[in-house]
């Protein structure tokens, strides 16, 4: 099977849409090399819309004719018509390039972290450049396969604090009608790509047909920080996010998150895995921990519109998660959106595992403890600043101090009552107060 992305495009491709925040498929097929990417000839590294407005209706007609009438549009195509206008095939492809040169990578941290505004397990990993002290725009970021850039989003406000910051860029690239790679926190775009984006602000001021890029083409730069990276397959839905509609308004891609490593050739895959600090399978991490009729997984305060939230400057305020730690999944953690972002997630310890708590369990209280990721064999190593050693094995350092308690009660299969008591030991928690909150999913 050959997966084709239509790379010769006209201006009439449809409108773009910016976002403020942005399992496995057929592994045997991917590994065998029978899935390849092909494209029509592109006269330059970046080919963009050039046709006159009179061609728009012709483009729209061709789109309908090129599709089997029995095949429904994916959520990706519905949200971004430019994708449906310029692709013909579905399914995964094999990647040919690492997002950053292997020699420029210090380490990778997995899917599933909980930190700051990310109260539920994060749907992307982080790629840390070799030396963040060198400042911005030091390392090249490339397309990992032929693609259509269908969304570019600038960010001038820090999500966690709503404070101004130097501009960052998010890029979403479709490799087929259903298969997407994502890069975020780029410190700059290449001048050519930024120039094309600026013509319409990526579809905000006029119709936009995206930007075609070739495998290995530089799309931007990173420096001074890690870059976000993820892959989404719109033909797959994660079984552990049991209410997909909760994510549809803000982050519809989340339920389609897949392990990217399986789509790299062995040489690149092995090199990336040697940089990954998570040692347990799946090495990419995991984000879907919902188990019906238990307290495990993601929850949303009643009346806060699911993942979308009410206060868009703090959309995560109604989020809550109870899930395993991304480095040591034997340890459970809670993330609480209404607490301050710098201190809103804790390890939990009690007499019943979250997967064991059900409606008949009644109220259960857990201790809250702080923690950090470290290297047990080298407890004094500041691994986040010191050179990376592929032989290091990472773990979770648990502080002995009890910083508070959380009381939970599963009242219905998908209704959870929660109250956090900071600074109060579980022995001194006598029951819920008027400050308790109800969560659903």
Domains of the chain (ranges, CATH numbers)? 1-285 (2.70.70.10), 289-441 (no CATH)
pLDDT at residue 71, rounded to an integer: 57
| Structure tokens that stand for 432 in this block | 């819920």
To which H or E segment does residue 405 belong? strand 404-412
Distance of CA 412 to the CA centre of its chain: 30
Give the HSE-up count for residue 87: Cα atoms under 13 Å, Cβ half-sphere: 32
What are the residue ranges of helices labelled H in 86-172?
none
Closest CA to 171 of 138, 144, 199: 144
Coil, strand or helix: which one is 437?
Answer: strand
pLDDT per residue as tens digits for the range 380-436: 999 999 999 999 999 999 999 999 999 999 999 999 999 999 999 999 999 999 999
pLDDT per residue as tens digits for the range 308-367: 999 999 999 999 999 999 999 999 999 999 999 999 999 999 999 999 999 999 999 999
What are the residue ranges of helices labelled H in 258-373?
266-275
CB 359 within 8 A of CB 410: yes
Q: What is the largest CA-CA distance in the chain?
A: 73
CB 10 within 8 A of CB 44: no
Q: What pTM was estimated for this model as a whole?
A: 0.85
For residue 217, give the DSSP letter: -
pLDDT at residue 73, rounded to an integer: 79
Nearest-angstrom CA–CA distance, 122 and 288: 10
Closest CA to 140 of 93, 196, 98, 195: 98
CA distances from 103 to 34, 91, 106, 129 (A): 29, 30, 8, 9
pLDDT at residue 75, rounded to an integer: 82
Nearest-angstrom CA–CA distance, 364 and 360: 11
CB 17 within 8 A of CB 207: no
CB 428 within 8 A of CB 407: no
CB atoms within 10 A of CB 112: 28
CB 335 within 8 A of CB 345: yes
427 Cβ contact partners less than 8 Å away, ≥ 6 residues apart: none
Nearest-angstrom CA–CA distance, 159 and 166: 13
For residue 72, give the DSSP letter: P
Nearest-angstrom CA–CA distance, 254 and 257: 6
Spell out, as residue ranges, where the chain has pLDDT lower than 70. Answer: 1-71
pLDDT at residue 275, rounded to an integer: 98
| Structure tokens that stand for 205 in this block | 């001021």
Closest CA to 346 of 399, 410, 296, 408: 399
């Amino acid at each position: 099977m050959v997966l084709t992305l239509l790379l010769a495009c006209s201006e009439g491709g449809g409108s773009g849409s910016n976002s403020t925040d942005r399992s496995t498929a057929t592994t045997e097929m991917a590994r065998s090399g029978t899935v390849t990417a092909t494209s029509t000839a592109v006269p330059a590294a970046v080919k963009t819309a050039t046709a006159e407005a009179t061609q728009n209706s012709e483009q729209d007609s061709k789109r309908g004719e090129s599709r089997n009438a029995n095949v429904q549009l994916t959520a990706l195509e519905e949200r971004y018509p430019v994708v449906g206008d310029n692709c013909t095939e579905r399914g995964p492809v094999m990647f040919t390039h690492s997002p950053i040169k292997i020699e420029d990578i210090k380490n990778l941290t997995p899917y599933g972290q909980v930190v700051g505004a990310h109260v539920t397990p994060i749907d992307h990993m982080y790629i840390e450049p070799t030396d963040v002290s060198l400042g911005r725009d030091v390392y090249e970021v490339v397309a990992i396969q032929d693609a259509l850039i269908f969304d570019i989003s600038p960010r001038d406000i820090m999500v966690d604090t709503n404070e101004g910051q130097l501009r960052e860029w998010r890029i979403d690239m479709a490799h087929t009608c259903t298969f997407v790679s994502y890069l975020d926190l780029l410190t700059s775009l290449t001048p050519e790509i930024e120039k094309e984006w600026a013509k319409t602000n990526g579809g905000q001021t006029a119709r936009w047909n995206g930007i075609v890029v070739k495998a290995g083409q530089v799309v931007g730069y990173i420096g001074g920080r890690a870059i976000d990276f993820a892959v989404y397959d719109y033909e797959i839905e994660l079984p552990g996010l049991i209410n997909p509609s909760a994510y549809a308004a803000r982050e519809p891609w989340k339920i389609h998150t897949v392990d990217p490593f399986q789509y790299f050739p062995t040489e690149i895959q092995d090199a990336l895995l040697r940089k990954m600090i998570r040692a347990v399978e799946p090495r990419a991490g995991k984000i879907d921990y919902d188990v019906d009729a238990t307290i495990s997984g993601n929850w949303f305060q009643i009346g806060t519109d699911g993942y979308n939230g009410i206060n868009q400057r703090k959309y995560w305020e109604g989020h809550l998660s109870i899930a395993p730690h991304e480095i040591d999944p034997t340890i459970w953690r809670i993330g609480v959106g209404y607490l301050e972002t710098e201190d809103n997630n804790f390890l939990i310890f009690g007499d019943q595992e979250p997967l064991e708590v059900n409606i008949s369990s009644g109220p259960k209280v857990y201790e809250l403890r702080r923690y950090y990721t470290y290297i047990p064999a080298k407890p004094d190593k500041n691994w986040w600043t010191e050179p990376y050693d592929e032989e290091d094995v990472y773990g979770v350092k648990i502080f002995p101090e009890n910083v508070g308690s959380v009381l939970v009660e599963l009242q219905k299969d998908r209704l959870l009552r929660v109250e956090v008591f900071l600074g109060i030991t579980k022995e001194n928690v006598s029951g819920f107060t008027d400050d308790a909150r109800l969560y659903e999913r």
